[in-house]
């Protein structure tokens, strides 16, 4: 086992980082050192990337949290009342000559 200090020399407390230490198997440490050398970055940088990737892969929206849908449509523009006109807007979209026809090339080009 080899211990590794995960910190950045060019970053300190002002970057909101904390120093930590971990033990890595010798082979993993060698890989990390080689990869850091190859990419020209610090070993800590790769460790941070790996942790971020792991977090993104494993972090799931908690069950029973219905709020996960709130605000996910970032549709810039003026205020709208689409939610009150869903039937009407769908009718317009599927009407002859409407959005569906236009998207599928059914509108007469004359």
Partner 1 sequence: MALSTLIDSSVLVAAANTRETHHLEAAHAISSLAGERAIIPITILTETLGFVRTRYGLDHHRRLWARLQATSFEIFPADTSLLEEARRIDERYADIGYGFADCTLLASCEVLRTARVLSFDRRLAAYRPSFASVLEVMP
Residues that bind partner 1 (CB under 8 A): 60-61, 63-84, 86-87, 89-90, 93, 99-100
φ/ψ of 23, rounded to 5, equals -100, 135
If the CB atoms of residues 31 and 93 are measured against partner 1, the closer one turns out to be 93
Min. distance of Cβ 51 from partner 1 in angstroms?
22
The vertex-28 CA angle with 27 and 32, nearest 5°, equals 120
Smallest gap from residue 42 Cβ to partner 1 (A)? 35
C-alpha span between 96 and 106 (Å, rounded): 9
CB-wise, 84 or 108, nearer to partner 1? 84
Residue 81 CB, nearest distance to partner 1 (Å)? 5
Measured in residues, the chain has a length of 110
Nearer CB in complex with partner 1: 5/85: 85
Q: Please say whether the beta carbons of 42 and 35 come within 8 A.
A: no
Our CB check for partner 1 shows the closer of 26 and 80 to be 80
Tell me how crowded residue 32 is: count the other CB atoms within 10 A of its CB: 19
Query: Residue 84 Cβ, how far from partner 1 at the closest point, in Å?
Result: 5
């Amino acid at each position: 086992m080899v211990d590794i200090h995960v910190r950045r020399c060019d970053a300190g407390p002002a970057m909101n980082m904390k120093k930590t230490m971990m033990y890595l198997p010798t082979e993993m440490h060698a890989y990390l050192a080689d990869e850091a050398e190859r990419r020209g970055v610090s070993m800590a940088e790769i460790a941070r990337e790996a942790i971020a990737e792991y977090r993104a892969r494993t972090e799931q929206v908690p069950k029973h949290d219905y709020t996960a849908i709130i605000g996910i449509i970032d549709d810039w523009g003026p205020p709208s009342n689409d939610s009150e006109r869903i039937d009407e807007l769908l009718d317009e979209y599927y009407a002859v000559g409407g959005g569906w026809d236009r998207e599928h090339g059914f509108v007469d080009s004359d």
